[in-house]
Each structure stands twice: as structure tokens, then as C-alpha cells.
Amino acid sequence: MKTLFRGLMPLVMGVTLATALPATAPLNETQRAWVSKAHRHEKSGWTYLHVEGAAKERGFQHGYLLAREIAGVLRSERAIWHYQTAMEWDWLVSRAAAMFTPKLDAECLAELEGITEGLQAAGVRTTLAEVITSNGWIELSWYWWPQELKKIKEGAAIPVRQSCSSFIATGSMTTNRGVVLAHNTMMGYEDAPPNVIIDILPRVGRRILMQTWPGWIHSGTDFFVTDAGLVGSETTIGGFEGFDTNGIPEFVRMRRATQTATSIDQWCAIMKSGNNGGYANAWLLGDVNSGEIARLELGLKHVGFERKKDGYFAGSNIAEDLRILRFETSAHETDIRNSDIARRVRWKQLMAQSRGRIDVKLAQLFEADHFDAFQQRLRAGGRSLCGHFELDADAAGAWPGVPYGPSGTVDAKVVDTRMAKSMRFAARWGSACGMAFDAPKFLSDHPQFDWMRGILRSRPSQPWTEFGAGERQ
């Protein structure tokens, strides 16, 4: 795909408060027409959002209908950024916007402008620069900042986080010989956003059903289905270092690939073009029309790619490509005390035990698995596929790096060929196993995390629920 770039006049930075204004102006006729095409509803702890049309109107629908949730995300990001870096949010916004804005293609920029205008129309004080910064939050805080920190402070940088457990299987591995994909998101609980599934019907390109963060044009938690028959997820490459400020942001490439691609090859080509190393992932991809699956490991200097029509790929935050592992990470691929290696071993065990039996129900059980491959027993913790670092007295690896770190699995999603062909998938908000998280109790028990008061959210147990493109309730 040829990427078109569009320049901008310098953005006015100023103070970015992301707070509700006391009053809002009525929508004009054009804005009312845009919003009339969109809708949202709540189901099993998720917020479902449908947007459609040209880029700017989709963005306006998104910003206006999710204004409360987006404002909450921005407040959390501001607090987390300041606590973790001791730097001001406006300092980040000015640098992020200057770095990212010239690299946005016209459609992504228009959608971001629409989100900003929708937020402002709903009474949220923000700027385009802040919305762009939020979309690049993972790249900035996990990849760019560690590199910047080395310029400010000598010594070890912030360790890049490890997150997510995922697999994709096809052929003789599955009951119907079709594709089965499952993924759960592992992250710091203070970072976990309100839970959104978005149905995007663009004027040009493929329809997308994906999990996302409020205010983002990409997924971030990375689980998607498109009407081209493509499905995908990712797991972060742990211990990774590298970021190219001249590259195209990951959030732009992911959205362009997902909205444009009609094949695995095309999706991967878009992701590789202009790669900046931000959010370095192992992408697990499937084409439900052909039954083919693939794994794209995208470092900064090296790329790994495998494909097959029979077998599986799994992701647990350890690079499989030896060039990425040796030259771009600090990972220890045999230290089973670490979460990523223990989960990698567990995937191998489950796949060996389950050949020919994998379906949606079994995939849901895999994502909720509590077996600790290091201790060789059932024990919910940081080393289990359904992660619960908050229960661990030991650190279980480099991330979160402290006992009882409030981090782990915050959702789970599963799709198979049948569901993907009808643009549907099953999802569970909160721990994949259904274990609830009580934020006030956790902070009372672990006052060392008091700084999270006001942003750490409780997550009650929710059931597995199916979602589909075009649904209204």
C-alpha cells in the first residue's frame, strides 16, 4: 500500500485538561446527522460502539458517544505518566505530536480530528495533540520513553513490559479443521481502560470488529476480525529495546493494515513498511477463507515470518525468531521462573494434549488456565496463562517486577472460522477465569500502591458473551 502523508500546521499545545466543561453547545445539523448513524450499548461489562461513514464522521461519532470513557482514559494516562516518569504531561504531548503528526496518513488524521471534535462537542476539554498522544500511549511509555530516559539518567532503563497470552490453530489441530484464535490481554490494572468493542463500517475499506481503548483508532489490546476473512491478535515481544522516531507509528500501521488488507501478505506488508519498532509484537494472523495461519514477529531491525495450513502458533512474550531474540531483546528463553517462559511451556503442553480437539469452548478454557509450569501445579499467579501477578509474593520475572504488582489478565476473546465469517467473536471482560478484582480491598491490603487511588478500577466477574457486527443490543 502506498502511504499518503499529510502535513499539519504547528499544533497549539497549551494545557490539556481532559475535563468536562460546565455546558455544551448543541450539535449542528451535520453533527446530528453523523451521530444518528452511530450507536452504543452496554453488555456483560463491555461497551459496544458502532461507527460508520467517512473518517471524520466516524471519529466524531466515536468521540461524542464515548466522551465520558475517553475523558477517564486521559485522566489516567496523565496520572500514570507523571508518577512513572516525574515529567509533565504537556511535555510528552508536545513531543509526541511533533513526532507523530507528520507521519499520519490523511484518513487516520481525519478520524483523529473527528474524535477530538466529538469530545469537544460533548464538553471534554482536549486537543488533537492530546488525542494523538493517547493513541501512541503504548509506544511512548513502553518504547520511546526508555530510550529518552537513557539520555537523562545513566543506568538501566524502564523494562519493556510483557503482556498477553494468545494462540492460533488450524487444520488437524481443530475440531472442524478451521481456524481458532484466542487472546487475553495482560497489563497493569491501573492502565486497563474501560472495555470497548467497536464495529467500524468505513466508507472505503474493510469492515472491522475489534476490541479497543476509548479514543483510539487502532486496537491496542489487539484482537480483530474483518470482512475480508482476516483475524488477528498479538503478544508483546518481552525484553525488547529499540525505537525509531522517524518511523510510522504502530497505531497508524495497525489501523491501515486492518482496514485495507485483503490477505495475510498484504496485512504484513503494511505493518512492515515504515516500522518504528514501537509496540514490538508477535502477530498471530489467520485467513478463515483459506484456513492459513501465520506469525509475524516484528522487531525493529529484524522480522520473523512463518505460515502454515496445519498446526498452531502461540504467543507468550518471548521472541521465537533467533535474530530478534539475540540481537533485539534481553530475554532468557529457558528461565522458566519468568512468566513468559512458563507460559510458553504451558502452551506447548496444551497444544500437545489437544490436537484435533480445539474449538471455541476449549480455547476459552486455555485462556483461563491457572497451571504454573515452573511450580508444576495449579496456582493462579503471574506465570499462568490467565495472569494474576497481584497474587504473587514473588515477582515472576521482569514485569511488573515487584511482589503483588497489580497486573495480569483483564479480558479474553475467542473466534473461529464460523464466527469470523459472520463477523462475530466471543469475549469476556475481566479475568479470563472470571475471578473478580476489588480495587479498594487490594489498595487496603497493599498500601504501597496508594498512588493508584482514583485510577485503579474494580472488575467484577462477567460471563463469556458473543458480539457481532451491526448488533444493537
**Straight-line distance from the first to the last Cα atom of the chain, in angstroms, rounded to the nearest whole number:** 36
In whole angstroms, what is the distance from residue 25 CA to residue 23 CA? 7
The CATH architecture annotation of domain 29-152 reads: Orthogonal Bundle (1.10)
pLDDT average, residue stretch 89-93: 98
Q: Is the pLDDT of residue 161 over 70?
A: no
Domain residue spans in the chain? 29-152, 165-468
Q: Give the three cell numbers for residue 405.
A: 504488582
Omega of the bond prior to 406 within 30 degrees of 0, cis?
no
**Per-residue model confidence (pLDDT) at position 155:** 59
Q: What is the DSSP letter of 102?
A: G
Q: Give the three cell numbers for residue 308.
A: 502454515
Classify 133 as helix, strand or coil.
Answer: helix
Classify 16 as helix, strand or coil.
Answer: coil
Q: Among 6-20, 259-273, 443-457, name the one with the lowest average pLDDT.
A: 6-20
Phi, psi values for residue 31, rounded to 5°: -65, -40
- The strand pair at 196-202 and 46-53 is best described as parallel
Q: What percent of the chain clears pLDDT 90, i.e. is strictly above it?
A: 87
Q: Could you tell me which residues come within 8 angstroms of residue 261 by beta carbon, excluding any fewer than 6 positions away?
A: 206, 226, 228, 230, 267, 270
Q: Among 215-224, 300-309, 351-360, 387-396, name the one with the lowest average pLDDT.
A: 387-396
**Per-residue model confidence (pLDDT) at position 7:** 33
Of 10, 56, 12, 15, which Cα lies nearest the Cα of 37? 56
**Per-residue model confidence (pLDDT) at position 273:** 98
pLDDT bracket for residue 257 (50, 70, 90): very high
pLDDT bracket for residue 193 (50, 70, 90): confident
Residue 44 burial class via C-beta count within 10 angstroms: exposed 0-12, middle 13-18, buried 19 and up: middle
Residue 36 burial class via C-beta count within 10 angstroms: exposed 0-12, middle 13-18, buried 19 and up: exposed
In whole angstroms, what is the distance from residue 415 CA to residue 421 CA? 10
Of 436, 407, 390, 339, which Cα lies nearest the Cα of 80? 407
Considering only CA atoms, give the Rg of the chain: 21
What is the amino acid identity at position 389?
A: F
Q: Is the pLDDT of residue 327 over 60?
A: yes
As a CATH number, domain 165-468 is 3.60.60.20
In whole angstroms, what is the distance from residue 315 CA to residue 339 CA? 12
Q: Give the three cell numbers for residue 301.
A: 531491525
